[in-house]
Structure 1
């Protein structure tokens, strides 16, 4: 789970204590910082004060920001167990997206969260660092990847592409066709794979040894990569693609890739790049652990293919795209005479 530390302890100690509440002057949560959200949670550390506010504020304080019947339901529920997520709060009768935003507003007014927490949008609490990563991703992501990240929000993806560039995560949230699942998928795509991306960067630095090498990528236009690289193409095998998306000349295999297949391909590419042990073992360990967390139990569409830019070189590449959330990775090795 995303780092909670003393924030979760505070929630546990004070939840369900009737009229007791944590004074804003003693609230440590608003001061906590984390580089980026690293797991699929709906409240990052910078926004944990929203939960503490919901769990500890008195009826009268909550009543200043929420309807009385909602407050009654919240206080009754927290008496039996503390709230541990926004989804948990949303399970309370009469609480919806608007109430979560009001709750966040109360937490901010009472000093439970600060500028490091942007607020709640589409049922997701967003930190300032996550917001910057989301905006950067949406402004730069390729068409094919964005549609893969938003497989059930085609219109939302089209609207985002047409309205770029964005300057705030709120504007992204407000875009027609973007809702709770969509914004969370975008956040996850922007933030959850950073240790693996650090490994990718290390591979790309170490992976060129003159007459051969290795290359990896995390955010890319897989369609363009498969169909436009090199004039000497061979061995194109794809799986899980819509018939209209299968490149011309491809062999279609009848089954998807699983985590073991993806891991084996990535580990082979990392090993090729690390032939002289120039990549830190800690970077490899953290990157592969992050990859495992992202691919375990998942299914992937994609392609294996070879290409060359001339008759004296060759590239062997593989792309994998999660069929549900669009997590994608490209691995490639190459040689040259």
Structure 2
């Protein structure tokens, strides 16, 4: 954050760089530190043909694109069980990043994948839509959110900020400090909350009157916490931040938020925004189901704050940021006399 003199320092406020974190008693620390989850698929639907090629091409066909010993290893392994992911393919002896690229090239040449599959980058087979979403996200994220998304790649985040704007996902993949985990975190942030983001947009599209709510998925949490409230800011409570990084005037709650707390706050905001039933029920159900999938078993840092721009109105704001992968959201409920 340039506002406080250092991108790395500001990012550490919610990402927990260099300090101890308050962990919830219900979740082991080792689980919180795991950079990937079992739901992190590494092949986009548009790229499934790569696996189809590996699983069905004859030895002679594979041998045309790979060294013979590699083709032999793949054929022997698939005889026991079909490949289900790039990680699965990579577990075969002699198969590394270069061999994955050769397999993708073979799959494209043989018609197993088309232009909707961009290719393999840092262990991910990306669709053209996913690649475009990655570029858009990296080019527009605030520095605080980007560091939260990349808690294990401080240098990579700084390099992205210094080199953007980017025109391709491959250029992002090539940046020093961006590897398999980092690109996957970026992909997840750019693509895995689309139904919830549709709900956010629907909430924000509702008529604004003397009692309403808005939400945000991508935002600069530090700017929100430190600059809102031109009239007065009666309360600011934060949790999960390093003691030396708590915003001025805030009190500190000694425990993190969990999925139930996040869901409760979002439910409240959606109810306020939808009090005239202007949001389609399908958008609400899909958005909340997506939110549940993204928050289940997770822990969150963040802040609750209230502020007023004049004596006749007020805002109640809640901010949550996943302590590991940077998934973030904000709700803002507004009232006026």
Task: Tell me whether the two structures share a fold, i.e. TM-score over 0.5.
Answer: yes
Structure 1 segments (4+ residues) deviating >3 Å: none
Q: Is the 8 A contact 1:50 1:112 kept in 2?
A: yes
Deviation at 1:207, TM superposition (A): 5.3
Distance, in Å, in 1 between the alignment partners of 2:103 and 2:244 is 46
Q: Counterpart in 1 of 2:218?
A: 219
- The aligned counterpart of 1:88 is 88
Alignment of 1:111-190 (within 5 A): 111-190=111-190
Aligned residue in 2 for 1:72: 72
Q: Aligned in 2, Cα 1:244/1:125: closer, same or farther, shift over 3 Å?
A: farther
Deviations 1:164-196 (A, max 9, x none): 110000000000000001101101111111111
Cα shift at 1:245: 3.2
Distance in 1, Cα, partners of 2:119 & 2:48 = 11
CA distance in 1: counterparts of 2:137 and 2:254, whole angstroms: 32
Number of equivalences: 298
Listed one character per residue, the Cα deviations across residues 90-124 of structure 1 (whole Å, up to 9, x for unaligned) are 11112122211111111111111111000000000
The answer on whether the counterparts of 1:207 and 1:272 sit within 8 Å (CA) in structure 2 is: no
Q: Give, in whole Å, the separation in 1 of the partners of 2:215 and 2:270.
A: 9
Normalising to structure 2: TM-score of the pair?
A: 0.86
State whether structure 2 residue 229 is matched by structure 1 residue 236.
no
Question: d(CA) in 2 for partners of 1:206 and 1:244?
Answer: 39
Please state whether the residue corresponding to 2:257 is helix, strand or coil.
Answer: coil
Partner secondary structure for residue 103 of structure 1? helix
In the TM superposition, 1:253-272 aligns within 5 A as 253-272=253-272
Deviation at 1:261, TM superposition (A): 0.3
Higher relative contact order (CA 8 A, sep 6+): 2
Q: Output one character per residue of 1:250-269: Cα deviation in whole Å (capped at 9) or x when no partner.
A: 11111110000000000011
Cα drift, residue 140 of structure 1: 0.5
Contact 1:159 1:175 in 2 (8 A): yes
In structure 1, the partner of 2:290 is 290
Partner of 1:20: none
In 2, the alpha carbon distance for the partners of 1:97 and 1:262 equals 39
Unaligned runs of 5+ in 1: 1-38
- Decide whether the 8 Å contact of 1:145 with 1:326 is kept in 2: yes
Matched, 1:318 2:318: yes
- State whether residues 215 and 331 of structure 2, in contact with CA within 8 Å, keep that contact through their aligned partners in structure 1: yes
Match of 1:104, SS state, is helix
- CA-based RMSD: 1.1
Question: For 1:19-38, what aligned pairs fall within 5 Å after superposition?
Answer: none
Partners of 2:334 and 2:128 in 1: how far apart?
40
CA distance, structure 2, for counterparts of residue 141 and residue 331 of structure 1 = 18
